[in-house]
Structure formats: structure tokens, C-alpha cells
Amino acid sequence: MSQSKQRTVESLQLNKPAGKLPGPMDAVIGRGSGTNLHDGSKRFRSMVDSHIFDFIYAKSNLEKNEIVMECIQKHKAGGGRFVGKYNGMYYHATEIKAYNKVIQRLRDQKARALREFDEIQLLGDDFDLVFPLDDISLASKA
């Protein structure tokens, strides 16, 4: 791999080492089932998802940024960290990396919620939306 394309801790926006294993409250940044199945990542996604309607109805980018920062602060206040893996070790993620993780989750969930809302509108008045957002399902009006 050439010097310019070599992956480094800095290029991955990771800081000081966080240990060999992430803690139970840590949100693991990365791809694949290992990051998705970690308990801290599940808790983190659930907490971020609880802010989706605030994000959808935010009128400005400033409001959206405030929602993202609130999610980051809540995660850290609950004992969570943002960590990424590099060469078998976990490192603390930078604030920028954490911000990007939160904003991407909110954008993805916003798109999902709006798609499902459009599908429900196509069905007409014979169906009601049943919440929470993680388990969107249709219940027939009987």
C-alpha cells in the first residue's frame, strides 16, 4: 500500500488507545456485525432513534446540530465512549467522528421513517401506524 493511501490511526480520526475491548456502554464505530451487535452500540442507536422526530421537524441546520450534540452528550453522560478499532486495538474516536456517526444515523432513520410514512399513505384509511419507530408495523382497523 502506498504511503499516501496507508490507513493510520490519525486518518481514521481516532485518538488515544481505549484498550483491547470496548466497554459495555461504548458505541463502536466501524462496519459489520461486530460493531452492530455490541451492547453499547445498540443502546446508542436506540437513544439516537428516540430523537428522530425532533430531527425530522427541525427547521434549521442549527437545530439539527443541537440535536446531534445532545445525543453525543447523553451518550457520554451515561458512561459511553465512541471507539474505533485499528490493528486489534480500540481507540477513542475524535469529536468529528462521533458527530458524523450520530448525524448519519439520524439521516438514515429520517429516510426510513419518511419512506414508511409514504407507504402508509398509499394504503389509505384502513391502517394505523403503531409505534415505536424500531418496530413499525401496520395494524388493520377492525
Give the per-residue pLDDT at 33. Answer: 82
Give the per-residue pLDDT at 126. Answer: 54
Give the per-residue pLDDT at 117. Answer: 78
Does the global pTM surpass 0.85? no
Specify the 3-state DSSP secondary structure of 129: strand
**What does residue 83 show for φ and ψ, rounded to 5 degrees?**
-130, 150
Nearest C-alpha neighbor of 40 from the set 58, 29, 25: 25
Give the per-residue pLDDT at 10. Answer: 59
pLDDT tens, per residue, the chain with 142 residues: 444 455 555 555 666 666 678 889 999 988 888 888 999 999 999 999 999 999 999 999 999 999 999 999 999 999 999 998 888 888 888 899 999 999 999 999 999 988 887 766 665 555 555 555 554 444 444 4
Give the per-residue pLDDT at 52. Answer: 93
Helix residue ranges per DSSP H, 58-94: 61-77
